[in-house]
Structure 1
Amino acid sequence: MSNGYLLEMRDIVKTFSGVRALDGISLAVRPGECVGLCGENGAGKSTLMKVLSGVYPYGTFDGEILCEGKPLQAHSVRDSEREGIVIIHQELMLVQQLSVAENVFLGNEITLPGGRMDYDAMYRETEALLARLKLTDVNVAAPVMHYGSGHQQLFEIAKALAKNAKLLILDEPTSSLSAKEIDVLLTIIEDLKRSGVACVYISHKLDEVARVCDTITVIRDGTHVGTRPAAEMSVDDIITMMVGRQINSLFPRTERAIGEVVLEARNVTCWDVTNPSRKRADNVSFSVRRGEILGIAGLVGAGRTELVSAIFGAYPGRSTLELEIDGKPVKIRTPAQAIANGVCLVPEDRKRHGIVPLLGVGDNITLATLAQYASGGHVDRNAELAVVDRSIRQLRIKTASPALSIAGLSGGNQQKAVLTKMVLAKPRVLILDEPTRGVDIGAKYDIYKMIFDLAATGVAIIMVSSELPEILGMSDRVLVIGEGQLRGDFANQGLSQEHILAAALNTQPLQRAA
């Protein structure tokens, strides 16, 4: 490391089907340094990190990678991990049926003489790693599937820490975490930096980038826009470099009338799938009006997703509730019944519940409304394609073709496609569960504008979000859920993050909107 760098990537070029996803990008990281890698969805950030981590092996790209001054020619992820380069992917890479400890040490098991796994040692080490992440209530012998996405993201981080990384690549690591969990993670990254571990931090949350990163590299459309010390860049500077244009207000609010109650939910109660004695949502009642944006806030695991899933007929466990739409009682037991009654949902986990990975972008977009283009058992492909093309243009979904597999799109573009699919069903009530998770600033603006435009046409919006600035910037009214119970119902007038957190932690009495 004569030049002081732990790792250097020089003039990396990566091509897919003749299209350059990376066009001569360079990146350098010193020991103990955190480099923020910023760019819009589809800019090439994840592709660059897959080159570095061996997901795309040596020989499938052009350019040079040096690790501690020596050429790195990784033919697999295991090769890069041997050099101390560990990646935490944006999408969870856990085996749901295996235990927490088995996942943390997967491929890196602690064994006894003779090759048998030393479960006692793995349990102890996993508990110690999770304690560093401030997780002390986890049964490390239980299957991962018993825990929510917030816990599972922390399990991924523990898995990386178990490999004693010299360079830790974090690709949107906080997308499933609460504010408290994010603070814990960023504190851990700061500790790792002090111990000499280098980090590449990919996030659309620019406040996180500003807190932990020493240097910021911005890429756009597969090209290197610039690298500068973080101390010399404002958030506006980063946004302008990322999107190539200024965004003056992230929340493009419009004046609109809020009308009569469209949906009223009473006594929504959901029992835990694995522990039937525990209630995930406990007797929650609320309503939402025509043209209103109702935000639902709360800590991860509070029961927000369970609440909206039950309303949509998608909760996998036992649930009871009473629903009225336009003052008339309705029974919704399946998502198909919900959509037929004008209630649509964009799910929290798009990978598992939002897309069909093997289908094309266009087929995913029209999946919920295919009957509209069918007659006599045949689908009018021209009419379907016209709707798809218009939708792709309106939300600026980056895809080479509507026929391209949706799995090949970036997370943000997948999210736009899922949102479009539900909007085409012409909902009266649109439920959005973490609608901008893993989405860049430019794409967030497009999604926010679409939400405000839908509300202006009279659609009632219910939006679950872990990002309090998003809740405050978008909502007309805010529900706060804590431990499955309704802790607050606030008009968004002078409301602050502190008010919401206090209600979520049950440190102030329930309030009702005027």
Structure 2
Amino acid sequence: MPSSTASKPTPLQPMFRMQGITKSFGGVRALDGVDLAVDPGECLGLCGENGAGKSTLMKVLSGVYPHGTWDGEIVFDGKPLRAHGVRDSEAAGIVIIHQELMMVPAMSVAENIFLGNEPRRFGGLVDVQAMHRHAGELLAELGLSDVNVALPVAHFGGGHQQLFEIARALAKRARLIIFDEPTSSLSGHEVEVLLDIIEGLKRRGVACVYISHKLEEVARVCDTVSVLRDGRHVTTAPMASMTTDDIIEKMVGRKMQSLFPRTPHAIGEVVFEARDVTAFDPVDAGRKRVDGVSFQVRRGEILGIAGLVGAGRTELLASIFGTWKGRHRGHMRLDGKMLRIRSPRDAIRAGLCLLPEDRKRHGIVPLMAVADNITLATLGAFAHAGRIDADAELTAAQASIDRMRIKTASPTLPIASLSGGNQQKAVLARLLMARPRVLFLDEPTRGVDVGARVDIYELINELAVQGVAIVMVSSELNEVLGVSDRVLVMGEGRLRGDFAIDGLTSERVLAAALGPANADH
């Protein structure tokens, strides 16, 4: 009689297996003996706080960090993988799609899809017709059958460009695609399209690693979830056996009472008022990006601004703060007194501070030290007889680092070496050193992990208790509803609703965002 074990099916061999991966930077261990494995057709969710080691691990796998610069072993298709660069890993079938899209805007869609991998005719010339035909076929597989692949990529939005990146991966015959925060700049509809495409890739046997702070997306598309914390592997489990609360607890190492902590705070008199703010497109001077928006915010109030992509929320804040590149107008008052703001310097001097939407482009100076980034807007406070008191500046910066719980080995390290969440905290620390009366936050938690998000929400509450008026733009409705005292809704550049938070639902906000301007709410 055969043994019971003989009748069990042989388990699938993982497509890849990483064992004991260790990676250090200047004596700081970023990865400490991490193990990871993915089967063909499986989507693995890789979760962890900013700085947990997720991106470092994927850079090891994709050849960004070549073999020999890390310890451990990678086995791909049953054979050791010793990639000395990205080309080696791509030749094996591993492609990474980075958070910042790697398209060349002036080149055509087809040229971007086949960049470095162009089909060629006899004699080595690029076969343009074949390239266009294959590009069209790849996009059709992804549900894009109406794209003119001869047009420059600059003609298309972020959602399309994300799909072009996937088409490029398929053109390289990718068998494993790594998605690093793929939906950070996508609308809700575009996110659904992307997740449906990943489901299709899984059915074709393509393996995926999905890195995201948006745990609802992880739960929606991933079969398995692995959690890293402080460079170490914490757990790997079937997604069906984990809740988002379970994942968060594993990520931060403690049980979270609430994703949106609230502290009671008094709301006082009107501090800031904007009247008839209008902003025109920098290129199409006749197009209004913001159209006659007026609002007030009170002392200690958290005012959320919601709306769909293109609603004009970022343009509104930029116009108020003096950073909008196009023509704009409006009347702003602080404590009833008219403000004349022509530049960010004017705004900061008046008591207004802005956390910009694009942290990398407008929030940090990448090669400057963490401490220097924090004190950048208040250097005058450390100047004596024309010289900067470096010791006083460093002491103040270190106090901000401690207060904001910024994870950095040293305040003198370049801020670019920090994780995204810690960079965001450093930018917030800089704003707080200016002691703002009104704080404008544009997507304050974009690309920030759950633990750092809660830190930012607690800071927002703390500032509201201190009487700071806060205006927060966010594309995440649950964040707007979870943090705000009152919510403005914008659509097509106009104000479409002004709601108290009590009883407010996401359905009501969406109805206002999609509804006619000046509707009675």
Number of the residue aligned with 1:461:
470
Give the distance between the partners of 2:131 and 2:336, measured in 1 at CA.
Answer: 56
Q: How many Å apart are 1:445 and its aligned residue?
A: 0.5
Amino acid across the alignment from 2:253: G
Q: How many Å apart are 1:279 and its aligned residue?
A: 2.1
Q: How many Å apart are 1:156 and its aligned residue?
A: 4.1
Number of the residue aligned with 1:207:
216
Number of the residue aligned with 2:240:
231
- RMSD across aligned C-alpha pairs, in angstroms? 2.5
After superposition, residues 363-374 of structure 1 pair within 5 angstroms as 363-374=372-383
Cα 1:377–1:134 shift into 2, 3 Å = farther
Cα 1:279–1:400 shift into 2, 3 Å = same
Amino acid across the alignment from 1:380: D
Number of the residue aligned with 2:230:
221
Give the distance between the partners of 1:459 and 1:119, measured in 2 at CA.
Answer: 59
Q: SS at 1:366's partner residue?
A: helix
Number of the residue aligned with 2:352:
343
Q: Is the 8 Å Cα contact of residues 49 and 252 (structure 2) preserved in structure 1?
A: yes
Cα 1:210–1:340 shift into 2, 3 Å = same
After superposition, residues 90-239 of structure 1 pair within 5 angstroms as 90-98=99-107, 101-110=110-119, 153=162, 155-239=164-248
Number of the residue aligned with 1:9:
18
Q: SS at 1:499's partner residue?
A: helix
Cα 1:136–1:446 shift into 2, 3 Å = farther
Summarize deviations over 1:364-393 as a string: whole Å, max 9, x none: 111111111111121111211111111111
After superposition, residues 300-319 of structure 1 pair within 5 angstroms as 300-319=309-328
Cα 1:212–1:105 shift into 2, 3 Å = same
Q: Is the 8 Å Cα contact of residues 490 and 511 (structure 1) preserved in structure 2?
A: no
Q: Is the 8 Å Cα contact of residues 42 and 409 (structure 1) preserved in structure 2?
A: yes
Q: How many Å apart are 1:118 and its aligned residue?
A: 5.8
Q: How many Å apart are 1:108 and its aligned residue?
A: 3.3
Q: Is the 8 Å Cα contact of residues 486 and 501 (structure 2) preserved in structure 1?
A: yes
Number of the residue aligned with 1:83:
92
Give the distance between the partners of 2:300 and 2:134, measured in 1 at CA.
Answer: 51
Give the distance between the partners of 1:344 and 1:147, measured in 2 at CA.
Answer: 32
Q: Is the 8 Å Cα contact of residues 278 and 290 (structure 2) preserved in structure 1?
A: yes
Number of the residue aligned with 1:430:
439
Deviates more, 1:45-54 or 1:124-133: 124-133
Summarize deviations over 1:121-162 as a string: whole Å, max 9, x none: 666666676677677998766665676666655554454444
Summarize deviations over 1:204-231 as a string: whole Å, max 9, x none: 1111111111111111111111111111
Amino acid across the alignment from 1:499: R
Cα 1:131–1:471 shift into 2, 3 Å = farther
Deviates more, 1:132-141 or 1:217-226: 132-141
Give the distance between the partners of 1:509 and 1:339, measured in 2 at CA.
Answer: 32
Q: 1:402 aligns with which of 405, 408, 411?
A: 411
Q: SS at 1:282's partner residue?
A: strand
Q: Is the 8 Å Cα contact of residues 150 and 300 (structure 1) preserved in structure 2?
A: no
Give the distance between the partners of 1:272 and 1:121, measured in 2 at CA.
Answer: 38
Summarize deviations over 1:163-202 as a string: whole Å, max 9, x none: 3421111111111222222222111111211121111111
Q: 1:70 aligns with which of 72, 79, 85?
A: 79
Number of the residue aligned with 1:254:
263
Amino acid across the alignment from 1:391: S
Q: Is the 8 Å Cα contact of residues 113 and 164 (structure 2) preserved in structure 1?
A: yes
Amino acid across the alignment from 1:210: A
Give the distance between the partners of 1:79 and 1:65, measured in 2 at CA.
Answer: 13
Q: Is the 8 Å Cα contact of residues 133 and 184 (structure 1) preserved in structure 2?
A: no
In the alignment, is residue 278 of structure 1 matched against residue 287 of structure 2? yes
Cα 1:309–1:120 shift into 2, 3 Å = farther
Give the distance between the partners of 2:306 and 2:141, measured in 1 at CA.
Answer: 26
5+ residue gaps, structure 1: none
Q: How many Å apart are 1:342 and its aligned residue?
A: 1.2
User: TM (normalized to structure 2)?
Assistant: 0.92
Aligned residues: 512
Number of the residue aligned with 1:487:
496
Q: Percent identity?
A: 66
Give the distance between the partners of 1:296 and 1:511, measured in 2 at CA.
Answer: 18
Q: Is the 8 Å Cα contact of residues 495 and 517 (structure 2) preserved in structure 1?
A: no
User: TM (normalized to structure 1)?
Assistant: 0.93
Q: SS at 1:227's partner residue?
A: strand
Deviates more, 1:441-450 or 1:290-299: 290-299
Larger radius of gyration: 2
Give the distance between the partners of 2:357 and 2:145, measured in 1 at CA.
Answer: 25
Q: Is the 8 Å Cα contact of residues 503 and 509 (structure 1) preserved in structure 2?
A: no
Q: 1:331 aligns with which of 334, 340, 363?
A: 340
Deviates more, 1:385-394 or 1:98-107: 98-107
After superposition, residues 489-504 of structure 1 pair within 5 angstroms as 489-504=498-513
Q: Is the 8 Å Cα contact of residues 54 and 80 (structure 1) preserved in structure 2?
A: yes
Number of the residue aligned with 1:33:
42
Summarize deviations over 1:416-464 as a string: whole Å, max 9, x none: 1111111111111111111101111111000100011111111111111
Give the distance between the partners of 1:115 and 1:161, measured in 2 at CA.
Answer: 23
Give the distance between the partners of 2:343 and 2:34, measured in 1 at CA.
Answer: 48
Number of the residue aligned with 2:31:
22
Give the distance between the partners of 2:116 and 2:445, measured in 1 at CA.
Answer: 33
In the alignment, is residue 389 of structure 1 matched against residue 403 of structure 2? no
Q: 1:440 aligns with which of 433, 449, 453?
A: 449
Cα 1:373–1:116 shift into 2, 3 Å = farther
Give the distance between the partners of 2:329 and 2:148, measured in 1 at CA.
Answer: 29
Deviates more, 1:22-31 or 1:253-262: 253-262
Amino acid across the alignment from 1:10: Q
Cα 1:35–1:315 shift into 2, 3 Å = same
Deviates more, 1:70-79 or 1:39-48: 70-79
Cα 1:120–1:271 shift into 2, 3 Å = farther
Q: Is the 8 Å Cα contact of residues 267 and 322 (structure 1) preserved in structure 2?
A: yes
Amino acid across the alignment from 1:191: G
5+ residue gaps, structure 2: 1-9
Q: How many Å apart are 1:243 and its aligned residue?
A: 0.7
Give the distance between the partners of 1:124 and 1:286, measured in 2 at CA.
Answer: 52
Give the distance between the partners of 2:331 and 2:109, measured in 1 at CA.
Answer: 37
Amino acid across the alignment from 2:14: Y
Q: Is the 8 Å Cα contact of residues 136 and 149 (structure 2) preserved in structure 1?
A: yes
Q: Is the 8 Å Cα contact of residues 494 and 517 (structure 2) preserved in structure 1?
A: no
Q: How many Å apart are 1:488 and its aligned residue?
A: 1.6
